[in-house]
Structure 1
Amino acid sequence: MATDQQLTVDQVIERMRRLADGLPPGDGVGVFNGMYLTVTELVRQRLAATYFDAPAATARLDAVFAGRWLAAVDAVAAGRRPTACWRPLFELRGHPGIHPLQFALAGMNAHIEHDLPLSVVDLCRELGREPAQVEADYLRINALLAQVEDRVRDELLPGPEQLDLADPLLHVIGVWSVDRARDAAWASALALWELRELPLVGPAFAAALDGSVGMVSRALLTPLNGRGRLTA
């Protein structure tokens, strides 16, 4: 799906805010969008604070990356199907047996493990750079994402008195981590970069990535009942 190549970070934040205003409480799409808005606002703050080696390139990556999420939102609003990695979140966004943290992690899984490597390749093509030239700032974003993920887990995860080690909710959310996802995304970006001139293999790899990431998102959205127990 094409991304909006003209978006700026400020425009991305404005669009996410408008999206948040139009969604009802508990909507799974809104849960992820709210978390992603927090990440993007944090990136914008760091862009102005010399946190990144190449702030202009990082801002461009952030906008291209976010454009893929907004393209999925626009596709659904227009009655089209989003890419496979995003379908579970949109299809299950109103399911009453899914915990909000599951929505947040499923959205992060789709966006990081699929959209991010494609966005890195898009950026490198646009700027005429090799992936190694953007890797340092890519890694700096890891710390920001981990910070927000920890905050979201603390805010949304039930207290220890409500869960035990065998609780299915802990099992579902324990299979995914932002650090492993970012490592996998970087490996995928390197593979896509090397395959970019192969007209059959590159698109086949990207399509397979889309489908496999969607399967993981669907697993993360395994319905639970109100006590965190698996629905019969």
Structure 2
Amino acid sequence: PQLQTAPEKLQEFVRNLLTLNVEEPWDERAQVKHTGPATWMQSNPYTLVMGPLEVDGNVLVSTGKHDDGVLIVFGDVTCRNLFVDAGFSFVCTGTLRVREALVSRAADSITYVAGAVEAELLDSGSGAWLTLFGDPSLLRVKHLTHYVMHGRTPIKPPKQPDLRTLVVPEVLDTEEWDSLSQEEQAEESPEALIKLDTRAVRKRLMSGASLFSAS
């Protein structure tokens, strides 16, 4: 039922995923409820959740041992932080509620959401991006790093956030910014040059920690 109410292009994408010639059979779960601070990851690279996915801690769309995979949730997703790993596709047919950071720009990753997207920080639009299928008003994030795609139209933030004020230093990629002289830095925008280091983000979230400085 959730898929039938999803936008047609998303329905088509999901149906194509379900016809993939996969090495392992799809793991189908009625729902996921994961309490406690531990990070939740799918054990099977190809996983269907037929209802809500509710996690107290972080969600990694990854198995930790496969180069690619798919997680499709036919319902709402609620968690602390969410990271879509390189090579993985993540589809949420409902509302995606992330209390802290949603990171959807790892290489060759796909993030599709049919409903609202709620997060304090959304890292999207550099390498890979989140695609919003609902109305643009359903994008409810406080900070957006680059852009979100809505159809063929990018939704950009009025101002890029200075990640140094939001997240712990060890998950920042400051190499490009640090390579500039003081004079060059005075003419450049740190918001455009300082990014999240997706490998460091993955490692930290896997440990169950937060990305945020104040957490």
Classify the TM-score, shorter chain.
under 0.3
- Greater strand percent: which structure? 2
> TM-score normalized by structure 2?
0.27
- Greater helix percent: which structure? 1
